[in-house]
Amino acid sequence: MVNCKASDKVYTIDLFAGCGGLLEGFEKQGSYGTLACVEWEKAPCDNLINRLQTKWKYKDAESKVIRFDVQRTSELTVGYENDIEYGSHKGLDKLIGDKKVSLIIGGPPCQAYSLAGRIRDANGMRDDYRNYLFESYLKVVEKYKPNFFIFENVQGMLSATPKGTQITDKIRDSFEKSGYKVISNFREAIFDLSEYGVPQNRKRVIILGVNKEVYKNMSVSIIDDFYNEIVPKYKCEKATVMSSIGDLSRLYPLRGPISQNGKKYSHSFAQNTTILNHIPRFHNERDMGIFRMLAEDIESGRNIYNNTKELKKLYTEKTGRESNVHKYYVLKWIEKSNTIPAHLYKDGLRHIHPDSRQARSITVREAARLQAFDDDYEFIGGMMRQYKMIGNAVPPKFSLVLAQSLKNIIDKYGLGV
């Protein structure tokens, strides 16, 4: 048994942090302390700082959130000054100080691994640099040698073959050579998040890395416990669209668009002003008509548009354009949602509200609820950036499962010396 005290804080670094979906669960669990979050986009960084300050009460949030490119690992660790894009920061080494990094969490951007991304890209994303961002993640792991890491990514990672090589083989070999035990078959690391209370169709690969030097012959048992015993015990009743967003204020189309403070609105505002970010994006008359018709088609039971052929035909009839994929999807009250993607920032055509009378796509708050964010997470900045960061996030309800599962491992095997 490895020594640890009940009072030990599990100090973490969050890489590719986004707006903090992974961080949320670990902070909420209560046993973890965030040392640093690294993210290169400004909007998620602004949201991370706001959340760390207002919810988790970190007084040094602006220092903990490092806006920087993880690929520039040496500068990230020792610090940088007057960078034309990222400014200045003292670096991870000084930020961490004499504290022990026990856990590194994060998941590199998934576009290079996603099936949708490979379909859109002429070369199947094989030349995309994001295929190899795990190497930057690993460099930080090798630098601070945490007891554990949690690496999250999309299911499409399992079939990605940049430069003709199975990326999972390269990732597994790299982690093992760096001194970490990981599950031998990554297909056994797929989790259906809907089984853990997340109300959408979302599957993710979760790779737990265990420091073989710290846990020696216990590392195999830890991996087995995590995947086969501990995480599965947190499965719960599946949530639906109705149970997730059905109580939110109804937002109906106005008789005509209005302008306020330089913005155009096509729908009414929420009556309950305590619910943040519940404002629809602007929709034109054509799209509202399509949304109403498609939702009514389901409500009436006619189900004329329940197949790809009819939906593609409808898109061409209404817009005069053609698409290789169907553009429209109406959420169904008694089912889970389709996946909430970053693509929501471009349009909401595949996330149409199920109430035909509202004739709109989902709001930021509805997207956040379907991603299992708590209502007290206030998303700041432009609406399109809010949609994007929500779609890119790990659902906090599932990250809480990961945090509690790892705490169970620590309670059983210890945190190290």
CATH top class, domain 10-238+393-413: alpha beta
Looking at the predicted structure, is the pLDDT value of residue 125 above 80?
A: no
More confident of the two residues 127 and 410: 410
* CA–CA separation, 172 and 279 (whole Å): 44
Q: What is the mean pLDDT of residues 259-268?
A: 92
pLDDT attached to residue 158? 85
User: In 65-201, where do the E strands start and end?
Assistant: 65-67, 80-83, 87-89, 103-106, 148-154, 180-181, 190-192
Looking at the predicted structure, is the pLDDT value of residue 34 above 50?
A: yes
Looking at the predicted structure, is the pLDDT value of residue 6 above 50?
A: no
* CA–CA separation, 141 and 416 (whole Å): 16
* CA–CA separation, 64 and 46 (whole Å): 12
Note the pLDDT tens digit of each residue in 130-183: 446 888 999 999 999 999 999 999 888 887 666 667 788 889 999 999 999 999
Looking at the predicted structure, is the pLDDT value of residue 42 above 70?
A: yes
Note the pLDDT tens digit of each residue in 71-82: 999 999 999 999
* CA–CA separation, 205 and 273 (whole Å): 37
3-class DSSP assignment, residue 178: coil
pLDDT category, 289, cuts 50, 70, 90?
very high
Indicate the helix (H) or strand (E) that contains 209. Answer: strand 203-211
pTM: 0.92
**217, burial (CB in 10 Å: exposed 0-12, middle 13-18, buried 19+):** exposed
Calculate the average pLDDT of the chain: 91
Q: How far is CA 81 from the centre of its chain?
A: 30
Q: Which two tokens stand for residue 268?
A: 């009414």
Q: Mean pLDDT check: name the lowest of 130-139, 249-258, 346-355, 356-365.
A: 130-139
Indicate the helix (H) or strand (E) that contains 316. Answer: helix 308-319
Q: What is the mean pLDDT of residues 342-369?
A: 97
* CA–CA separation, 360 and 290 (whole Å): 9
Q: Where are the domains of the chain?
A: 10-238+393-413, 249-362
